[in-house]
């Protein structure tokens, strides 16, 4: 088994962490004090040796030892300084990396803050636009509702006016119809009364004509044994009747014939065919008796 190499006192242990700067200064001061102590000891021992064996050899060895100790101390100091420099460089590199990380973190945070600020501004703008749209829509809806209400009010006013006008027109028409009915009733009553009065006058006049009309039987040339009724001319009141129908009954030798002379007017009865009576041939017209049974206006029974 190989023995581990003994490390010189001036060589630093690579597994140990580098000491700090104050510790390194204290360590250098301790090494210097130890060297001074060794030098003093060597000088004291050298003096005794010179007294025993001779001074030249002892002084030479003492100087070589001092030089060797100084070289060891210088190498140790250089190693400590190199290790301190490397540690400082590592610290500086770590600090620079930390600074870079901090700068990157700060930049990231700044960019995040700027992005958040932009998003917040955009969100605020969107909310403001939405609020403006809602306000505009609410205003337009209010205006639309106001227009609808005004339209309904105007429509209701127009409908009310139309209903009022229609009611007034209905009342006016009803009043006019009532007045017309009253006038018509009055006119009808007047006409009825006039008609009744005129009818009464006509009937009285016809009765008077019935008393006045005289008919007799006679024979006309070419008429054979038939009888023809003869009568005087009538002077009619044309405001009452324009012509009359004369109903008669002829009685002769136990036989009786009834008939009517239509449209008897101002000409009176004569030998026209309409005045012919189909009487009994054995009856002489002079013995026939003709009685007027009724007189009516033409066109009336």
Dihedral sign, Cα of residue 152, residue 153, residue 157, residue 160: positive
pLDDT, residue 149, reads 94
pLDDT, residue 145, reads 93
Reading the block at residue 62, the tokens are: 């003492």
Q: Which residues pair with 244 in a beta bridge?
A: 264, 297
Is the pTM here over 0.95, yes or no? no
pLDDT, residue 53, reads 45
pLDDT, residue 59, reads 80
Helix-helix angle 21-52:55-212, to 10 degrees: 170
Q: How many helices (H) does the chain have, and how many strands (E)?
A: 2, 6
Nearest alpha-carbon partner for 228 in 288, 184, 167: 288
Kindly compute the dihedral angle of the four CA atoms of residues 71, 74, 79, 81, in this order, to the nearest 10 degrees: -170
Domain boundaries, the chain: 21-115, 214-297
**What string of pLDDT tens digits covers the 301 residues of the chain?**
455 555 554 455 555 555 565 566 666 666 566 655 565 555 555 544 444 444 567 788 888 888 888 888 888 889 888 888 888 888 888 888 888 888 888 888 888 899 899 989 999 999 999 999 899 999 999 999 999 999 999 999 999 999 999 999 999 989 999 998 888 888 888 888 887 888 888 888 888 888 888 888 888 877 777 788 887 777 777 778 888 888 989 888 778 888 888 877 655 566 765 677 777 777 888 888 889 999 888 876 5
Consecutive H or E run containing 301:
none
What CA–CA distance (Å, rounded) separates 121 from 187? 95
Reading the block at residue 110, the tokens are: 């700044």
């Amino acid at each position: 088994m190989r023995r581990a190499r003994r490390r010189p006192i001036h060589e630093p242990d690579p597994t140990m962490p580098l000491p700090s700067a104050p510790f390194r200064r204290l360590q250098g001061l301790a090494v210097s004090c130890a060297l001074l102590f060794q030098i003093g000891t060597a000088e004291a021992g050298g003096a005794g040796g010179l007294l025993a064996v001779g001074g030249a050899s002892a002084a030479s060895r003492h100087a070589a030892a001092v030089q060797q100790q100084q070289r060891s101390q210088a190498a140790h100091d250089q190693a400590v300084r190199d290790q301190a420099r490397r540690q400082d460089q590592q610290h500086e590199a770590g600090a620079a990396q930390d600074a870079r990380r901090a700068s990157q973190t700060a930049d990231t945070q700044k960019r995040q803050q700027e992005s958040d600020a932009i998003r917040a501004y955009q969100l605020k703008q969107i909310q403001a636009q939405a609020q403006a749209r809602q306000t505009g829509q609410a205003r337009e809806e209010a205006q639309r509702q106001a227009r609808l209400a005004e339209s309904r009010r105007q429509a209701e006013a127009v409908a009310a006016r139309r209903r009022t006008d229609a009611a007034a027109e209905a009342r006016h028409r009803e009043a006019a119809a009532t007045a017309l009915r009253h006038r018509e009733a009055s006119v009808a009553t007047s006409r009825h009364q006039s008609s009744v009065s005129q009818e009464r006058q006509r009937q009285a006049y016809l009765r008077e004509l019935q008393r006045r009309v005289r008919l007799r039987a006679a024979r006309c040339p070419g008429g054979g044994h038939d009888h023809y009724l003869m009568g005087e001319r009538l002077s009619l009141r044309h405001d009452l009747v324009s012509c009359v129908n004369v109903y008669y009954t002829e009685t002769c030798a136990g036989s009786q014939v009834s008939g009517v002379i239509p449209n008897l007017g101002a000409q009176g009865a004569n030998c026209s065919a309409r005045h012919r009576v189909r009487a009994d041939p054995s009856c002489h017209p002079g013995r026939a008796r003709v009685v007027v049974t009724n007189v009516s206006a033409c066109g009336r029974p």
